[in-house]
Structure 1
Amino acid sequence: MSSYVVLPDTYQHADKDILVTLVYEVLSKVIEYNDKITASASTPASNTQPEKLTRFHSQTFPNISIHEYLDRIVKYTALEPVCLLMLLLYADRIAANSAKNNFVLCSLTAHRFLIAAVSVASKAICDVYCTNSHYAKVGGISSRELSLLEMTIIDALSWHLATSNDTLTMYYKSLVENHPKYTFSVPLSSPKTQISPKYRSLDTPMSQTSTLQPLPIDTCTRASKRKAIEDSLNSNHSSLDSRLDKPKLQQAPL
């Protein structure tokens, strides 16, 4: 008897929790790889140039794992499945031009990259999205900092903020085909594709308390989703500053 979990052939119909897990597992491998490179570069005997600080760098490791952080973003922003895949696309595009932007996805940069990339992707390709103040509260940073992070990502992407459905489908197929637990109902005719591992965990537990109101994660109409976002924005919710590290960042040119 097969132990595979069968997933739909299109990412639009995939279970969002499973999609979060698939994206997280790729990101965690990339982050682990880059953390090792960064650590080796900091040794006295290394000939590798030390990593340059960017707006995304935290002075210490945030006290929330990448998986928990993605779960939180999905829960409180009604994030569309397409935006989860856009995270990988943005990371690939930025990594391909790393000589220009000096960005490396690692444990110190991942959280700010994720919340800023979600905000940019949602505004670029979704009909309904949250305000910056809402994304900032979910991410545990200030609205001003989020705006600076957004502009940094946009500049690193050279304003190439969208892509074709075929490209996103390729990413989704790659995630499923290369996972030992999941498969499609019918074998796909296209060859296996590998997501580039150029941009490479945080498992520190954190308190789960929050007064933010979860937004619906199931498919809904524009009107109902907009109302849910407005209701959440109008509710009283606390800042995440005590839960997600928010140091003074080193100022770096955009």
Structure 2
Amino acid sequence: MDAITKRWEEIQRKISEACRRSGRDSSEVNVVAVTKYVNRETTRRALDIGLHHIGESRVQEAVPKWEELGDRGEWHFIGHLQRNKVKAVVGRFTYLHSLDRLSLAKELNRRCEQDGRPMGCFLQVNVSGEDSKHGLKPDELLDFAREVAQMPYIRLEGLMTMAPYAENPEEVRPVFRRLKSLQSELREMGDPRLKVPHLSMGMSNDYEVAVEEGATYLRLGSALVGRDF
């Protein structure tokens, strides 16, 4: 059994235990294998063992991988996206996890219309308020979501956040809990376009806590596929 298979089995076990603790069904939790620090061979191996979701965050490195492996699995762009890189993402990636400004939304909607297919998007929220992180402020979310919901080629899939790194994952539980409450606020607006069924939160250091707080997409890199560089 290779290293990735061993890690994947252990992660599945921990997700199942976190779901049991929180009264959830583990089938609700999807794992995005973050392959930005591994080569194409490692990415292929992840797909070979049954990982369906692949996450990349740098266009220049992601496109060559997609060109070789894009017909396998679903590809998620999880990093900060510049407007001039939207063209490279549309048509290749099924999901964008980092929509956080109107200019990007408009360009994305325009490119997706040209492509003839909508893109599933997560609205990135900077719940922790760190200057080093991108994302909307929590109090900006509702108005932004209303505007984006009017764009026919953007499909609002959910919300995304990045918690601060902490040695003790319990310290970031309030971040995940807050994103869950923002999801509830959007749903309470009664607009079917704002149901935002998913929460993209939880990374290698804190994913068990994220599952307990309602995560439906985990973004796992080092804990799952490791690092090649």
TM-score range normalised by the length of the shorter chain? under 0.3
TM-score of the pair, normalised by structure 2: 0.23
Greater Rg by CA? 1
Higher relative contact order (CA 8 A, sep 6+): 1
**Whose strand proportion is higher, 1 or 2?**
2
